[in-house]
């Protein structure tokens, strides 16, 4: 049998078997999602801005927006600012550099992320990041499942000035994050 006939015959056979199940599955998932979350469009200039110990974060999507599936924020950070090595026990993170350069360490591997580069830091894996170079960096960070935004809100309430690392460590530990 040639390729064209194979695709035609196997496609028809597969569609008769798979489509009813896919339609049923799609309907139930769509129903669940439409009951728990609403569509949302967030412009670049919109969001809740927090100063989290020098990491200027603009929160775009919160767990309350996404059925607690994901939280996403934009980091606008000066050179030299970063987060020391730490481990998340509750969420995975994705880092996407929009502008500038970020030195990132994930599981002991250190690299420089430039515009357009992405890094994935799964939970229970040590990671850290720091803005390098001479320009301010802009990075989109996503964490899933959501929940970490509550920790950032607590950290943003701390007094300005050099952070009390003991208090920071305590707040982070309450949210499943430990520094190493």
**The pLDDT of residue 62:** 97
Residue 171's CATH number? 2.60.120.10
Stretch 57-81: mean pLDDT:
97
43 is a domain residue: no
Predicted TM-score (pTM) of this structure: 0.79
Q: In sequence order, what DSSP letters do the residues of 58-92 get, joined into one string? A: EEEE-HHHHTTS-EEEEEEE-TT-EEEEEEESS-E
Query: Could you give the number of structural domains in the chain?
Result: 2
Mean pLDDT, the chain, integer: 88
Same domain, 27 and 53: no
* pLDDT, tens digit (0-9, with 9 covering 90-100), for 139-177: 999 999 999 999 999 999 999 888 899 999 999 999 999
Instruction: Using pLDDT thresholds of 50, 70 and 90, give the confidence band for residue 17.
Output: very low
Same domain, 159 and 114: yes
Backbone angles phi, psi at 135, to 5 degrees: -110, 155
Same domain, 59 and 131: yes
Cβ atoms < 10 Å from Cβ of 124? 12
Same domain, 73 and 99: yes
Q: What residue numbers bound the domain in which 12 lies?
A: 1-36
Same domain, 62 and 26: no
* pLDDT, tens digit (0-9, with 9 covering 90-100), for 20-47: 555 455 554 545 544 578 999 999 999 9
């Amino acid at each position: 049998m040639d390729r064209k006939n194979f695709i035609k015959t196997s496609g028809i056979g597969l569609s008769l078997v798979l489509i009813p199940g896919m339609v049923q599955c799609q309907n139930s998932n769509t129903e669940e999602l439409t009951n728990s979350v609403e569509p949302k469009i967030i412009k670049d200039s919109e969001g809740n801005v927090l100063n989290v110990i020098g990491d200027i974060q603009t929160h775009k999507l919160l767990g309350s927006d996404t059925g607690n599936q994901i939280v996403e924020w934009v980091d606008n950070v000066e050179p030299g600012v970063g987060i020391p090595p730490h481990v998340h026990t509750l969420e995975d993170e994705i880092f996407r550099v929009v502008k500038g350069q970020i030195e990132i360490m994930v599981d002991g591997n250190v690299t420089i992320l430039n515009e357009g580069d992405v890094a994935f830091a799964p939970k229970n894996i040590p990671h850290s990041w720091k803005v390098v170079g001479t320009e301010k960096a802009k990075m989109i960070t996503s964490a899933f499942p959501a929940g970490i935004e509550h920790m950032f809100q607590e950290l943003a309430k701390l007094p300005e000035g050099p952070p009390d690392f003991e208090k920071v460590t305590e707040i982070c530990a309450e949210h499943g994050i430990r520094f190493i």
